[in-house]
Chain A
């Protein structure tokens, strides 16, 4: 144990005894570590972006809205379409939700704001995937009823109530009173972020708030702004979409020859696009990182070999004093490890500064989180260790008799 501690101490001393040599070796390995940090940082940045875009089961949904680009309008989907779609798609339906959205005049005391009011029916929280900050969410039974209840998004609550508690208070939507039963917390993904300013109310009750306003336009009481059908994981989306379109066409009397009066949004499309981008850039960056690590590895091995040659007498003197070849090998390897770790610090710092600077000119996904830093350190340490193998072997094969040559 004492001997190992001594070797550690000597390795630490040897690694930094010549600052210029240490700086050169750190720079050599630092390049490789920086390459790994860039690749891992960008991949991690993409992962974070994708996490924000991940909608869970919602990514498997058919989001059906009216095709507003058509001249011949057949109107939006209707509540009656839901059982027809359920029947047509059978076991492929995991959940569904119907939405009716309009902007309303919302007031609490003296506070007033024009906020989106969402009439919801069914499993609306698949999309409005936000944790509760206070109170409770609307139950399935409540969404099917007409009680004047509502839940506020975090932004809406802040606008109306500042920092005061909202649950139990009554707000007015287009002049009609409505009790606040819950407040959502901030959204954790991009999809739910759309709802942070919203007021959620039961589907039928929401229609009442707009009876005297023209906010829902000419929509009938059964018409929905958006129909969300969440498909089971094993369902093929394309086939389900065709079945749903045929069902809706039949229901609305639209011939197959005509362009579909409905739009089917693909919530997973942006994620897939980002995935493709990440895979492409990832392959490129991993190649670059591998090349920089290989260059660092050979560069360090060559430089460390030269350094061992310059230190032959120093090593012989250590052997003369009782160091075995194994201890010399361990010392040189530990030196490589120490230089590798120092190079990781330098590489990470360089990448952090570089990324910060680069992001002032162009936004790109990049994140230097603890995982990325740990990976950079592991890569730096391993590179230092592996690159030290040839010089360590060379050092250990020296003769202690060299100590006598001044």
Chain B
């Protein structure tokens, strides 16, 4: 676990993190004993077959879920005992998420979707909108800011999702299959933008099988049957 950009203090750590769904006889272990550390400037690719625990790990790393065993340490603080409210407050502005299907709220315009993290971070409507428009411009969608997301193409929707994730310049970006179902050109554009964010000091963790993502990753973590099998640096 070598820091890619020389930052010794990890942004995020999973220490013996595990997640079991259900209880007693119906318990299903989705992730077991994950020990990982992520640093600023790195692009870490998580790979593994379907059901290997990638999304479960991403949810834990993205502070969207709590481990049933072990700990998640974000910016040096153990978040395992955090309440839902404290987790939400921690996520505000510090984490960005790029989801497989973009994860946009239908019926809202592109700019309103991108405004959401700004709203919850306590920015004024005007300031949140300024930032959102800049983020949309950054992904080449300034002219479609006022369109309802339902009227956008798949690639455009993904770029709106990317703009939302990056709008507040978070320290940690969680991406779940960010290039799936995108054409090669858009996929390259998306991973370029994520790599640029990493170069700017963010840590990017992306679950993906896409060679385009794997090529650009500074490290790959493989998962199988809920276990981390190869926390290896990419040459």
Contact = CB atoms under 8 A, between A and B. Distances in A.
B84 A3 contact: no
Contact of B119 (A10, A18, A317): A10
Given A2-B124, A322-B116, A404-B100, 4 more contacts: A321-B91, A401-B59, A406-B99, A406-B101
A322 B106 CA distance: 18
B125 interface: yes
Interface in B83-105: 84-85, 87-89, 91-93, 97, 99-101, 103-105
A403 interface: yes
Interface string A373-406: 0000000000000000000000000011101101
8 contacts: A2-B122, A6-B119, A13-B108, A317-B104, A320-B97, A325-B85, A325-B88, A326-B85
Interface of B: 55, 58-59, 62, 64-65, 84-85, 87-89, 91-93, 97, 99-101, 103-108, 112, 116-117, 119-125, 128, 164, 176
Interface in A304-349: 313-314, 317-327
Contacts of B62: 320
B97 A403 contact: yes
Q: For chain A, which range describes its interface: under 10, 10 to 19, 20 to 34, or 35 or more residues? A: 20 to 34
B159 to A, nearest CB: 17
Nearest to A400: B64
A322 B120 contact: yes
Given A324-B88, A400-B88, A5 B120 contact: no
Contacts of A321: 91, 116-117, 119-120, 164
A9 interface: yes
A319 B55 contact: no
A3 B88 CA distance: 14
A17 B113 CA distance: 14
Contacts of A6: 119-120, 125, 128
A301 to B, nearest CB: 23
Nearest to A328: B88
B88 to A, nearest CB: 4
A318 B123 CA distance: 15
